[in-house]
Amino acid sequence: MDKVDNSKEVIKQQLEIINGRINDAISKSGRKAGSVKLEAVSKFHPLQSVLDAIECGQFLFGENRVQEAREKFSQVNELGKKCELHIIGSLQRNKVKHAVEIAECIESVDRIELIEEIEKQCAKINKKITVLFELHTGEESKSGFQSADELQKALDFCAAGNTPHLIPTGFMTMAPFTKDESLIRNSFATLRKISEQMKVHYPQFSFSELSMGMSCDYEIAIEEGSTIVRIGTAIFGERDYS
């Protein structure tokens, strides 16, 4: 696939369209205005695209590879631009140090070993970091905790006081890659249901975020309770993985 980095004009247009559709989906489902944040996923797109989006009023960004995120967002910071970065891709232990330096939130927490490393690295720099726990809810996606049981072991670990530098705020998932809307909806509904259960089990955490929905399925996700939609292609254009 050829790489198409959208121009600033196109990014502006797309952000307006998407924000409009987000608001429509919010009111259609009877939810509160402003209850869904748009996270612009800038992976594989250049620094300039990020800067363009910031100038169009975009604040929240997602990246899935730490090295790439670091290259871009350290420059964003040096230029004095204000934004918030979330790491959304599966995270290797040796990347955690740099991840916690640049990000406000790790959305892809999927194992206790990773939780321990995030705690360790945050303690070193005396930083508290927001985390979301990623849950596997679709047939095809492999990332995330594989069951509610596994997730609970991790939450028990945090609840036991092992992670003073982590602020658990919710859950993340990826819907299966399919055209079957019922499977997609099911995946989002599963995350919401588990989130409701975890709120009851762990009243000490304020689980308020559900990060779910991408370019092709964010309106369904909003209908199912999403509070963060992670959108890349629809804002920045196709990615060139080659």
Ligand X SMILES: *Cc1c(COP(=O)(O)O)cnc(C)c1O
88 lies in the site for ligand X, by CB under 6 A: yes
109 lies in the site for ligand X, by CB under 6 A: no
Judged by CB under 6 A, the stretch of 14-22, 46-54, 122-130, 232-240 that binds ligand X is 232-240
Closest distance to ligand X from the beta carbon of 90 (Å): 9
Closest distance to ligand X from the beta carbon of 62 (Å): 6
Closer residue to ligand X in complex, CB, 29/215: 215
233 lies in the site for ligand X, by CB under 6 A: yes
Neighbours of 101 (CB within 10 A): 15
CA separation for the pair 171, 109 (Å, rounded): 9
Phi, psi of 170, deg, nearest 5: 160, -155
| CA distances in angstroms from 192 to 23, 103, 163, 169, listed in the order given | 20, 25, 24, 13
178 lies in the site for ligand X, by CB under 6 A: no
Identify residue 189 by its one-letter amino acid code.
A
Judge contact between 105 and 130, C-beta under 8 A.
Answer: yes
Looking at residues 17 to 76 of the shown chain, list those that interact with ligand X (rule: CB under 6 A).
41, 43, 64
237 lies in the site for ligand X, by CB under 6 A: no
Binding pattern to ligand X, positions 121-140, x when CB under 6 A?
A: --------------------
Closest distance to ligand X from the beta carbon of 164 (Å): 27
Judged by CB under 6 A, the stretch of 52-60, 116-124, 189-197, 228-236 that binds ligand X is 228-236
Buried b (16+ CB within 10 A) or exposed e, 19-45: eeebeebbeeeebeeeebbbbbbbbbb
User: Which residue carries 């929905």 as its tokens?
Assistant: 213
Positions that interact with ligand X (CB under 6 A):
41, 43, 64, 88-89, 174, 214-215, 230-234
